[in-house]
Amino acid sequence: MTAPSPSSRIKAGVIQMRSTDDLEGNLRSAESLIRGAAGEGAALVVAPECFAFLGPEEGKLKVAEPLPQGGPILQRFRDLARTLGVELVLGGFWEQGARPEKVFNSCVHLRADGELAAVYRKIHLFDVQLADGTALQESASVEAGEQVVVTSTALGPLGLSICYDLRFPELFRRLVDQGAIALAVPAAFTLTTGKDHWHVLLRARAIESQSYVLAAAQTGRHFGQRVSYGHACIIDPWGTVLADCGEDEGYALAWIDRGQVDKVRRSLPSLQHRRLG
């Protein structure tokens, strides 16, 4: 597989969904939103965590597919990428794990020709009891990954992460150290934490990494008490929110300019002034 030649300026999109336990409905929604973003000129589109399935834990095992070979879900989006001629970052792809009772929560990068370019497996798992009564124990059904992943895209080196990873700045520092000029953050951030932390954390990662942030999101009620915050957005290396989906399903688009990354890193060379690793 040949890596794409980076362009100095391309349009990127992030999509926002309300996924449920309806696999086919979710896939149709994701496909429609990706087509919409591509139709408005996006050359790279990021789908949110749990885009194919967001329901009871046991459902993950039923829809999980082996990678890199994949199954019908991966093939569907490989075909879509090829048909539209766009790169896709599929956040929260349920990948079969090493043990039958667990899966990986993976972020998959597909090139515009449909070829699988990279897989990142979520390192930080969300095990919490929230104040609103929501209890989430991701590690009960998900294996943690170990590898930091930067992949070559049309916009340049893209660092991959998933949702809860956002709270661990050391991961994003590693991504920048490996050359990332943009960071993909597909997420299903809860309403409880998102309303206070989502934009703050995303802008902080953009500012300290001096990189674009492409944050796809889930929104609304999925099942039971599970409600996501929404606000899929794109943020520039200065921390400015360029586009935001609000609370509705849809997509946000913005230009990614490698020159802006270079300008910010030259004018405020904090990445060069690090002393603690």
CA–CA separation, 57 vs 225, rounded Å? 14
In the residue annotation, 122 being an active-site residue is answered as yes
Three-state DSSP state, 203: helix
DSSP string, 47-75: EPTTSS--S-THHHHHH-B-TTT--HHHH
Return the half-sphere exposure (C-beta side, CA atoms, 13 A cut-off) of residue 215: 36
Catalytic-role residue among 107, 163, 233, 245: 163
CA–CA separation, 72 vs 74, rounded Å? 6
CA distances from 164 to 4, 52, 61, 193, 259 (A): 29, 18, 21, 11, 29
Residue environment code for 105-121, b if the CB has 16+ CB neighbours within 10 A, otherwise e:
bbbbbbbbebebbbbbb
Catalytic-role residue among 49, 87, 95, 249: 49
In the residue annotation, 263 being an active-site residue is answered as no
CA–CA separation, 152 vs 179, rounded Å? 10
Return the half-sphere exposure (C-beta side, CA atoms, 13 A cut-off) of residue 159: 27
In the residue annotation, 62 being an active-site residue is answered as no
Three-state DSSP state, 9: strand
CA–CA separation, 269 vs 10, rounded Å? 24
End-to-end C-alpha distance for the chain, whole angstroms:
33
Q: Are 92 and 108 in contact (CB under 8 A)?
A: no
Catalytic-role residue among 11, 107, 122, 233: 122
CA–CA separation, 198 vs 27, rounded Å? 25
Helices 23-39, 72-84: axis angle to 10 degrees equals 10
Please state the separation of Cα 45 from the chain's center in Å.
10
Active site residues: 49, 122, 163
